[in-house]
Amino acid sequence: MTVLKNDRYLKALLREPVDMTPIWMMRQAGRYLPEYKATRALAGDFMSLCRNAELACEVTLQPLRRYELDAAILFSDILTIPDAMGLGLSFGAGEGPKFAYPVDSQRAVQNLPIPDPEDELQYVMNAVRVIRRELKGDVPLIGFSGSPWTLATYMVEGGSSKSFTKIKKMLYSEPHLLHQLLDKLAESVILYLNAQIKAGSQAVMIFDTWGGVLGHREYKDFSLQYMHKIVANLVRENEGRKVPVTLFTKGGGGWLEAIAATGCDAVGLDWTVNLSEAKRRIGNKVALQGNLDPSVLYASPEYIKMEVKKILSDFGQGSGHIFNLGHGIHQDVPVQNPKILVDAVHQYSKAYHQQSAV
């Protein structure tokens, strides 16, 4: 088994005893940090940064130098798979992602290749290997992918969307075509995440950012079904240790039981879900990750600490909670505030683990 100096994140995912509640932050490596902005400028553009293993490693490690986080997350993007499928991904200055060749027909779906993780996506695996080497066993490394539904939204819409009219038109008028696309994406994600695990990721997470825009039945048919397939086909042990998987659907509070039933180890929660209610519903089956509103990081130190205490109290005694934001950190939060958050979680959570710590 790989020796980790700090493995409380992996233990909490498996609901094993820990000394304090672990914490990491979605988008913890990113543009709220001045050192990240300098590194991105050095790379030239966002995708060049992702494709440079040494620079991707550097930005992965930057937040760990500032804050006592319990995990590192691979610096990459959820759109690496669609990019590797040849859709012409670009990021304009101050704009979201755009695809030059949106998926809008039967022929477009049929022509999509399933990328080889060690060929078209080898730069991601190289980054994983370099990051693992440079972490030196300090904390575990999280790998990730977008969910098939979330990837499909960008591919069909041609970029970001507020209304999702194009993909919902496909869903309701050509559901068979959308299922073909989602099935191909699920196969791609399985290969991609298993390659990340083989390269050194010690836990993986699936980001279903746009699952919450679906109707109740449609979520299960067009999003959850495919995440379930991915979970069932992931490598769940590597280097003599279990490889936990977390599913996170933003806006997914209505489907917690169904998400937990996929066989995942943890369910991510956004800030619209009460943590104590989630624990009552699924906490005996899976670990829970979340769920501070990222905007709380604009608040005073006293307010941040108060919110930490509330969330820790909501979960209560014992392991199985990974403290996180309910979505990604905002780019203009004061850089000192995440330290207040991280330190408060560690300080105040010890009392909840005194009887279970080993």
Query: What is each CA distance from 123 to 51, 75, 152, 247, in whole angstroms?
Result: 5, 11, 22, 24
Q: Which of 7, 70, 77, 265 is catalytic?
A: 77
Mean pLDDT of 76-94: 90
Structural element, H or E, at residue 50: helix 46-51
Active site residue 133: no
Active site residue 40: yes
Per-residue pLDDT reduced to its tens digit, 186-213: 999 999 999 999 999 999 999 999 999 9
Query: What is each CA distance from 186 to 82, 151, 179, in whole angstroms?
Result: 12, 10, 10
Mean pLDDT of 104-117: 96
* 246-250, 346-350, 353-357: least confident range: 353-357
Mean pLDDT of 75-80: 95
Ligand-binding site membership of 327 (annotated): yes
DSSP state of 297: G
Q: How high does pLDDT run on average in the chain?
A: 96
Q: Which of 19, 40, 66, 241 is catalytic?
A: 40
**Contact between 185 and 223 (Cβ < 8 Å):** no
**For residue 357, what pLDDT band results from cuts at 50, 70 and 90?**
very low
Query: What is each CA distance from 16 to 8, 92, 235, in whole angstroms?
Result: 9, 44, 20
Per-residue pLDDT reduced to its tens digit, 15-55: 999 999 999 999 999 999 999 999 999 998 889 999 999 99
**For residue 92, what pLDDT band results from cuts at 50, 70 and 90?**
confident
Confidence (pLDDT) at 3: 86
Dist. CA 218–CA 209, nearest whole Å:
15
Q: Which of 9, 36, 154, 192 is catalytic?
A: 154
Query: What is each CA distance from 249 to 1, 13, 35, in whole angstroms?
Result: 31, 17, 30
Statement: residue 356 has pLDDT above 70? no
Q: Which of 94, 40, 26, 30 is CA-nearest to residue 60?
A: 30
Ligand-binding site membership of 29 (annotated): yes
Statement: residue 358 has pLDDT above 80? no
Ligand-binding site membership of 15 (annotated): no
**Contact between 251 and 211 (Cβ < 8 Å):** yes
Half-sphere exposure of 245 (CA within 13 A, CB side): 28
Dist. CA 187–CA 26, nearest whole Å:
25
Ligand-binding site membership of 51 (annotated): no
Active site residue 27: yes
Ligand-binding site membership of 289 (annotated): no
What are the structural domains of the chain? 8-352 (3.20.20.210)
Confidence (pLDDT) at 93: 66
Statement: residue 168 has pLDDT above 50? yes
**Parallel, antiparallel or unpaired: strands 89-91 and 72-73:** unpaired
Active site residue 66: no
**Contact between 210 and 146 (Cβ < 8 Å):** no
Structural element, H or E, at residue 100: none
Per-residue pLDDT reduced to its tens digit, 216-241: 999 999 999 999 999 999 999 999 99
Confidence (pLDDT) at 215: 97
Ligand-binding site membership of 94 (annotated): no
Q: How many CB atoms lie within 10 A of CB 86?
A: 15
DSSP notation for 167-225: HHHHHHH-HHHHHHHHHHHHHHHHHHHHHHHHHT-SEEEEEETTGGGS-HHHHIIIIIH
Per-residue pLDDT reduced to its tens digit, 283-301: 999 999 999 999 999 999 9
**Contact between 102 and 156 (Cβ < 8 Å):** yes
Helix (H, G, I), strand (E, B) or coil at 250: coil
Statement: residue 2 has pLDDT above 80? no
Per-residue pLDDT reduced to its tens digit, 318-339: 999 999 999 999 999 999 999 9
Per-residue pLDDT reduced to its tens digit, 143-166: 999 999 999 999 999 999 999 999
Q: How many CB atoms lie within 10 A of CB 306?
A: 13
Ligand-binding site membership of 32 (annotated): no
Ligand-binding site membership of 355 (annotated): no
Ligand-binding site membership of 28 (annotated): yes
Active site residue 67: no
